Copies of this chain bind each other. A is one copy, B any other.
Amino acid sequence: MNFTKQTVAIFITLALVLTGYEIVNAQEIVQDPEYYILKAQHGDDWAQQDNEINKKLKALKKKYGTTPNIIHIMWDDSPMGEVGFPFIQQLRGFSTPEINTMAAEGINFTRMYTEPSCTQSRAAALTGRHSVRTGLTQVGFPFEYGGLRDSEVTMAEVLTQAGYATAFFGKAHLGDIEESYMTNQGFDEANWNPYNQFPVIYGPQAEIGGGVLPTSTNPEIYPEDPYDIDKGWRTLGHVAALEGVKGGPVREVVVPGDIQGWYKNMEGQKDRTLAFIDKSVEAKKPFFIAYWPELIAFVPFPERKTLSGGFLQEGLVRFDPFIGKLKEHLKEKGIAENTLVILMADNGPMTHNGPPGMVETIYRGGKGDYLEGGIRVPAIAWWPGMIAPNQTVGDIIHETDLFTTFANIADAEKFIPTDRVIDGVDQTSLLLNGDTYSRRDYVHVYTGEVYAATVKGRFKRHWVGDLPGLSGASFYDLYNDPREVQPKMLPGFTTKGMFNAMRARHDLWNEKYPHSLEARGFPFTNIENARPETIKASKPRFEQKDVPFDVMEVMKRTKDLKEFEAEWGIDK
């Protein structure tokens, strides 16, 4: 037999990883086992590419005086293809010319994967870790009694150590407890929503606007329910938007149900973004802005600007001019070529229980699904001079890669913690060299806490679903069956054992580096202008002395709703 050096390296690595042998240097980032398989094959090439990349980045720093600025814009619930492609927009009756132009000036990703829902996706982007590792596996609603744990290291914390000014504007959806406030998670300043848009729309006016019945938040508009004997068990006093600076006080800026206030705050985030750029430039600091706008309030806009009228489409069209404005602003400030902008959605469309216009476009499934439709989103990378224009990239990239890639670009990799698994891999080479330069050919797909599917190149295996007694799980070929409707076992039979090995390695690593948990506690503490009902909500609803169980203990346990989440997340 004629083994090449490379083949031998693969076998040795496989053997080592399968037996759990420790090949990770304690000082290095701990990646998913699958990454090491690829590194064993391509490590030399990667090192060469990195050499070239470092030269480019050094030259750029020399020219601009700082490491590159990073703006990460992420909105809600859009199917792959929703922006960047005039053809698809033509079919859907709307148009985002500025976003499409930005796409044409950079990279249009065809395989940007995310977690399947908001909270999960946002936690993953900010920590570089699958949400199952941080315990943020459910979509947060009032009262969540929880949020992102202090011990998680966010992108903002990593970049702050490298000298970046950091800001967060928009929807965080990462918890309602003080520990999870964006100003306590590394951002210098923040204006954010601790939940999603729902707290905003649920007021009596929502009933008029969207035909939504606010049964749980506004009992006062109904006759008193004589069977409702546990007064106050439904939440009151939750907050819709907060604002503050690192270490400083936090203020409530939008009261739930105040849609006009929400519109105003959302518009204000655009100005804040531009102002933060100006301030950072003035201070000669590189900046990182996570601008994750809530484009819609789930209530129709009074005036329609699209033929579709779909809620998100209306939101996108209204947001679109800002992208042109942002580009102009970066050019005026002379920093366009030193600024990486990423535009993307956080997960697939809300096809289950969603508003008008949230539909599948190409892939099957939507928000919450482990199907491609739930986790494959539109994504654009723009960095004039560094990223070449007119690129449609077929490589796999995962949102967690942004964490690692941003850190690399910012010369901040050394601040990434090395005591936990970081799922993100460095994709700077993909950004700068383009198609076929990804350092990932796999995605572990979780919905809730369920390990639901694995993607490896063109192949995908569903671990949940039909026929568990046959080959264990279904196999799909995404080129031939993008909608995952024709499970095929025989054409992919050589992938069965290999998928099993991937999962075994992943499981092994999960045992070695156990998942963390969502932090738990009472919500809304330390809000400067807290309303009386908010203060009430920040404390137990009844005295400990009146009940025999431990109030705090209960709160810690309410997270354990695996079954609900798994069912919700799995398409019929």
How far apart sit A92 and B482, CA to CA, in the bound complex (Å)? 7
- Indicate which residue in B90, B93, B359, B360 contacts A392 across the interface (CB closer than 8 Å): B90
A to B CB contacts below 8 Å, 6 in the list: A85-B87, A87-B87, A90-B110, A93-B479, A359-B483, A359-B486
How far apart sit A482 and B91, CA to CA, in the bound complex (Å)? 8
Q: Find out whether the CB atom of B480 lies under 8 angstroms from the CB atom of A359.
A: yes
Q: Find out whether the CB atom of B81 lies under 8 angstroms from the CB atom of A485.
A: no
How many residues from A make CB contacts under 8 Å with B? 32
**How many copies of the shown chain assemble into the complex?**
2
Q: Find out whether the CB atom of B85 lies under 8 angstroms from the CB atom of A458.
A: no
Q: Find out whether the CB atom of A483 lies under 8 angstroms from the CB atom of B360.
A: yes
Q: Find out whether the CB atom of B362 lies under 8 angstroms from the CB atom of A91.
A: yes
**Main SS at interface, chain A:** loop
Contacts of A362 in B (CB 8 A): 88, 91, 361-362
Kindly report which residue of chain B lies nearest to residue A309, judged by CB atoms: B480
Contacts of A486 in B (CB 8 A): 359
How far apart sit A61 and B458, CA to CA, in the bound complex (Å)? 52
Contacts of A91 in B (CB 8 A): 110, 362, 479, 482
Known: A359-B485, A359-B486, A485-B359. A394 touches B479 (CB 8 A): no
Kindly report which residue of chain B lies nearest to residue A85, judged by CB atoms: B87
Contacts of A87 in B (CB 8 A): 81, 85, 87, 108, 110, 392
Contacts of A261 in B (CB 8 A): none
How far apart sit A321 and B433, CA to CA, in the bound complex (Å)? 29
Please provide the chain A residues from 446 to 479 with a CB less than 8 Å away from any CB of chain B in the complex: 458, 479
Please provide the chain A residues from 120 to 179 with a CB less than 8 Å away from any CB of chain B in the complex: none
Knowing that A356-B480, A360-B483 touch, tell me 5 more A-B residue pairs with CB under 8 angstroms.
A87-B108, A93-B479, A307-B458, A359-B486, A362-B362
Contacts of A481 in B (CB 8 A): 359
Residue picked from A93, A110, A480, most chain B C-beta under 10 Å: A480
How far apart sit A86 and B88, CA to CA, in the bound complex (Å)? 12
Q: Find out whether the CB atom of B110 lies under 8 angstroms from the CB atom of A392.
A: no
Kindly report which residue of chain B lies nearest to residue A482, judged by CB atoms: B91
